[in-house]
Structure 1
C-alpha cells in the first residue's frame, strides 16, 4: 500500500489495508477530498489476476457505470450554460429521437431514468461500440412504459442517450466534451476507453462469478441480459481491444479514484475547484433533487435516484451519512460521489469485481471509515 492519508482519516488507511488482509482485495485505489483539499490518496496491490503487475500511482482501470455519471455531468453543464432546457422535449435538440412514440419525452424525464428506454431491440447483437448504429436504434426504440409513469436504471443505454444529446447541442462527441471541459481543466486522469493512456498503466478488470451484474448481463433470459446483448460476446469483454479503444459511456470510462474524486470534489464545492468552474452551485442542487426512491424496473433492486445520479442509499449505493450525497457506482464496486453539506468527495477504483448487487464490502468499509 502506498500514498498518504491525513491523520484525521487514518481509519481509511486502516480499512484499505484490511481490505487486502481479509476482504480479498486484489488491487485498488481510494481517494478522499475534504473542503476541496485531497486528504487521502492511497493505492496498492496488483493490476492483473496473475499478480505480475503492481498497481502504481498512475494506474487506471475501467470504472464501469461511473461513466454514466460523467455523461450526466456533461449534460448538466450545458443546462447550466442555458443551452439545454430540461423541460423541453429531447426531440427539440435531437429530432430523430421522436421515433417510436418518444416525441414527448423531456430531458428531465430522460435524466430521471423515467423514459422507459431500457433496451435497444433494434440494434444488432454486439453493436455497442458502433455509435451511429446505436443512435439509430435509439431513434427506433419504443418505450417500455408510458414515459414518466415508471422508473428504472437505464443500465446499457443512458451513456448513449446523454452522449448523443451532448453532441446534438454542442457539436462535440461526449469523450471530447468531457476531456476539454472537465478532465483537462481539472487535471483528472479519466476518459472513455483507454486509448489515450499507455497500455501499461491500465489494470485488468477481474470478474467475480458472485457478481449479480456480471452473471445477469451474460444471461439473455434476464432483463439485464436483454439490455446488454449489444455488448460483443468475447471471452474477456471488460479488457478487450474494443472496450479500451471505443466510446461506450455506459460502461467503459477508465480512470482511478484520484481522478474521479477530484471531479466530484468540484461538485462538493459548489461546482468549482482550484479556479476551474464546472457549473453553479444552484445547478449542483438541481441535479441532485430526488426523482424516485423504490424498486428499479431493470434490476429489481431498491435505489434512490436523482437526475442522472444516484442518491445515498445504504444498501445499494452507500455514500456516508448525508441523504443528499450523490454520485454514481459502477458494476463491481467502483464509485464516485460528492457530499456538499460535509464538503466530502470520495472515490474507489478496484480491479476485482465485488460479489452481490451493490458496491461490495470493500467499498462499504472505506466509506464507513471516511465518515468515522
Structure 2
C-alpha cells in the first residue's frame, strides 16, 4: 500500500524547470530551481521516489559550458563518486545470485589478487574501504585511462600498511577493485555490467559508465570547471616536481589516492576522462535513473512490480554508524558494503553515495524515500559542496512526510527507457 491518491494535478513548476512533480514537493522544486539562476551556473536534475514510485522528476539549466544547450530529460551528468554506488549495486546483484560472498577472500574469485600478501583480504574489506589499496602509487594518466591495466596493477599491488584495516577512502581504486572482481566472476567489464545489471532491469537508458555511445538517448553534459585554468599550481614546475613525491608517501592521504599527472587536463575540453572505464568516478547518469535504483533499495528491493534486489540483501546494506574519521578524508563516512552514511543523528538518515561537486544518490529504507541530485558544476572542493544536497534533502524529507500524510500523485515515466548499447570493449 502506497497511499497514492489522485486528488489533484502535480505542482506548477517554476519558470525554466521542466518535468513533473507532485504538489507536495513544491518547496523542494522551488529550492532546486534557485540553484541554477543563469547560464554560467550550468544545469542539473532532481528526482525523488517514495515507496518505489516516482514523485519528482525535474531538470533545468544548461548542459554546455557556453549556456546554449538546455538540459533535457535525457541529459546525464558525470557524477564522480556516485558511480561507486552503481558499481557496488552490481556486486550486490551478483551476490543475490550466489556468485559472490562478502566474507570470502577476493582472491578466491580473482586469483591474481593474492599477490603481495593480499590472499586474506575479503570482499567485505574492499567494500568497506579498509583494504589498504587506496593509493595510485605513481600511475600515469595513460595507464589510468586503461581500465584493464589498472585492474592488473591493483591485483599486483602491496597493501599500504599504514591504512590497511582502517577505513581509508579509495577515491579511484575502489572502482577497479569492483570491476576486477566482477570481471573474474562474470568475464564482463563494469561498463557492460552496469547496463545489464542496472539499466536493463530498471528499464532506463540513464545509467552509463563513461561517455554514452553515439546514438544513445542519454547525452553527457559538459563539466563547467576546471576549463580555463592557466595559473593553478598544478601547472607549475615546482608543483609538478613535488606532487608525485608527496603522493607516493604512505601518509599522503587523499592526495595519494587522487593525484596523477594531467589530472586537471583529462576533465577539460572533450573530457578524455569520459572515454575510459573508471568505475569509481566517471559514471554518466540522469537523476531519474539513480533515484530509481535507490528507490528500489528503499522499497525492500522492489520496483515496477519486480524484485531488483532481494529483501534480505537490502536489509543488510546499512551498517552501524560510526563517528571514527576516515583516514584519507578525515571525516566520518561510515562505509558499509560500498555505500556510506552520514553518522550524525538526524542528518540524512539512510545511505548512498555522494560525489565530487555535490551530486548524490540516497536511500532511506526506514521511510521508503530515495532521491538523486546531479549537475555539471565542479566549482569548489569536495565536502563544502555537500551543503547543497544536505540542504535539499532536508526539504525533500519534509515534503515527503507531508506527501505520506496527505496522499500523493506519481509522475509519468519520463526520459528514455533502456536501450541496448553498442558493444563495448571489456
Common fold: TM-score over 0.5 = yes
Which aligned pairs between 1:47-196 and structure 2 lie closer than 5 A?
A: 47-121=63-137, 123-145=139-161, 149-188=165-204, 189-196=206-213
Q: Report if the CA contact (8 A) 2:212-2:220 is conserved.
A: no
Tell me: CA distance 1:197–1:185, structure 2 relative to 1, closer, same or farther (3 Å): farther
Q: Which runs of 4+ in 1 moved over 6 A?
A: none
Q: Report if the CA contact (8 A) 2:79-2:284 is conserved.
A: yes
Tell me: CA distance 1:94–1:108, structure 2 relative to 1, closer, same or farther (3 Å): same
Residue 236 of structure 1, CA deviation: 4.7
Quick one: distance in 2 between partners of 1:239 and 1:249?
21
Quick one: distance in 1 between partners of 2:163 and 2:54?
41
Tell me: CA distance 1:292–1:126, structure 2 relative to 1, closer, same or farther (3 Å): farther
For each residue in 1:2-23, what CA deviation from the matched residue of structure 2 results, as whole angstroms up to 9, or x when unmatched?
A: 122211111111111222349x
Q: Which residue in the other structure is 1:332 paired with?
A: 357
1:5 paired with 2:21, answer yes
1:256 paired with 2:286, answer yes
Quick one: distance in 2 between partners of 1:363 and 1:278?
26
Q: Report if the CA contact (8 A) 1:260-1:336 is conserved.
A: yes
Residue 26 of structure 1, CA deviation: 2.5
Q: Which residue in the other structure is 1:363 paired with?
A: 389
Which aligned pairs between 1:159-238 and structure 2 lie closer than 5 A?
A: 159-188=175-204, 189-196=206-213, 198=215, 201-207=219-225, 220=244, 221=246, 223-230=253-260, 232-233=262-263, 235-237=265-267
Quick one: distance in 1 between partners of 2:311 and 2:36?
38
Q: Which blocks of at least 5 consecutive residues in structure 1 are unaligned?
A: none
Q: Which residue in the other structure is 1:299 paired with?
A: 329
Larger radius of gyration: 2
Residue 265 of structure 1, CA deviation: 0.8
Superposition TM-score, scaled by structure 1 size: 0.88
Tell me: CA distance 1:26–1:242, structure 2 relative to 1, closer, same or farther (3 Å): closer
Quick one: distance in 2 between partners of 1:130 and 1:107?
23
Tell me: CA distance 1:174–1:360, structure 2 relative to 1, closer, same or farther (3 Å): same
Alpha-carbon RMSD: 2.8
Residue 239 of structure 1, CA deviation: 5.8
Quick one: distance in 1 between partners of 2:390 and 2:269?
25
Quick one: distance in 2 between partners of 1:356 and 1:241?
19
Aligned to 2:357, what secondary structure does the other structure show? coil
Aligned to 1:29, what secondary structure does the other structure show? strand
Q: Report if the CA contact (8 A) 2:321-2:341 is conserved.
A: no
Superposition TM-score, scaled by structure 2 size: 0.78
Residue 196 of structure 1, CA deviation: 2.2
Residue 328 of structure 1, CA deviation: 0.6
Q: Which residue in the other structure is 1:30 paired with?
A: 46
Q: Report if the CA contact (8 A) 1:121-1:141 is conserved.
A: no
Aligned partner of 1:345 among 351, 357, 370 = 370
Quick one: distance in 1 between partners of 2:157 and 2:303?
40
Q: Which blocks of at least 5 consecutive residues in structure 2 are unaligned?
A: 1-16, 235-239, 247-251, 399-426
Quick one: distance in 1 between partners of 2:178 and 2:73?
31
For each residue in 1:80-122, what CA deviation from the matched residue of structure 2 results, as whole angstroms up to 9, or x when unmatched?
A: 2111121111111111101121111011111111111111326
Q: Report if the CA contact (8 A) 2:290-2:361 is conserved.
A: yes
